[in-house]
Amino acid sequence: MVNSILNKSFSKAKRVTFSRDAKIVFFSDLHKGDNSYADDFRRNMEIYYHAMELYFDKGFTYIELGDGIELWENISFRPIYETYKDVFELLKRFYERKRLYLLWGNHDMEFRDPIILEKVMRTFFTPKNIADKDAVFDLEYHEGLVLEFENTNRSIFAIHGHQADYMNYKHWKFNRFFVRYFWKYLQKWFGISDPTSPAKNFKGLVRVERKLNQWILKNNQQMIICGHTHRPRFPDPGDIPLFNDGSCVHPDSIIGIEIENFSISLVKWHYKDKKKGNQTEKLITQTILEGPVSLEKFL
């Protein structure tokens, strides 16, 4: 069943061609919420915004690999938008430069419906004229992307990763119901982890990775970049080319993947203490966790 889901996702994925000198950054699993106790992103919002401003200025294309918005714990998009208006406005700047691709994951799967998406866009990004209407309302959320590079015959398959997690793909509404009305409060009161999430369930995490690995082996070592499990993954050349960009809800840090100069890196943005006289100030800095390694080693 999972193999069939992945095959269908790959065949229907939007194909995008990049030059070999393209600059691309991947983040996933932001889970932007309403700034409540259950909003895991609020602690890292400043780090994320800082990194994204730099990526915008440097000409990067931004690919968000799903679960950018937490629509399991939150019934309405309005409080999320009002909490992170500056972040959405920054994403709009990427969009206006045609440097934005958004994928849906299991926590924002509602956005696979273009009618729901247009309703949200009409409410929060009201166009001023017909030209603005045409520009705003062609925003799409994709299930997957196939990234092709000029002068190569191989590609990268970008997905959220819940396609290899049957319950979170086929029965996401059932899982959403329990998270929204039960586990959210059990987490608050008793610290009980959400059993529907592979990020908090090691057996589920391993199962998802194993199924993705099996699909890659059956499909001519097709390189994948995904999220979903929140566990960063950067294989060595020659290993199964399954990459995971981690998440943006790690403690005081966000982790993502960069492609630049036809090389791939796993990066971490985090706070770093810097002494200034008797004062200590927190600066946001980037650490390269893995790479850069030429994409030719994996394609």
CB 198 within 8 A of CB 208: yes
DSSP H or E segment with residue 133: helix 130-136
| Whole-number Å distance between alpha carbons of 87 and 47 | 11
Taking only the tens place, the pLDDT of each residue in 44-96 is: 999 999 999 999 999 999 999 999 999 888 888 888 999 999 999 999 899 98
Question: What pLDDT score was predicted for residue 64?
Answer: 98
Taking only the tens place, the pLDDT of each residue in 8-28 is: 999 999 999 999 999 999 999
What number is the average pLDDT over the span 98-119? 88
* pTM for the whole structure: 0.88
Taking only the tens place, the pLDDT of each residue in 124-133 is: 666 565 555 5
Task: With CA atoms as reference, report the closest residue to 87 among 33, 126, 134.
Answer: 33
What number is the average pLDDT over the span 203-207? 75
Cis peptide bond upstream of 195, omega within 30: no
Q: What is the CATH number of the domain that holds 178?
A: 3.60.21.10
Question: What pLDDT score was predicted for residue 137?
Answer: 47
Mean pLDDT of the chain: 86
DSSP H or E segment with residue 159: strand 155-159
Show the tokens assigned to 211. 């199924």
**Which domain, by its residues, includes 164?**
2-297
**What is the count of structural domains for the chain?**
1
Least confident of 78-82, 99-103, 134-138, 155-159: 134-138
Which pLDDT band holds residue 38 (cuts at 50, 70, 90)? Answer: confident
Question: What pLDDT score was predicted for residue 136?
Answer: 47
Question: What pLDDT score was predicted for residue 93?
Answer: 92
CB 287 within 8 A of CB 270: yes
Question: What pLDDT score was predicted for residue 119?
Answer: 75
**Secondary structure (3-state) at 90:** helix
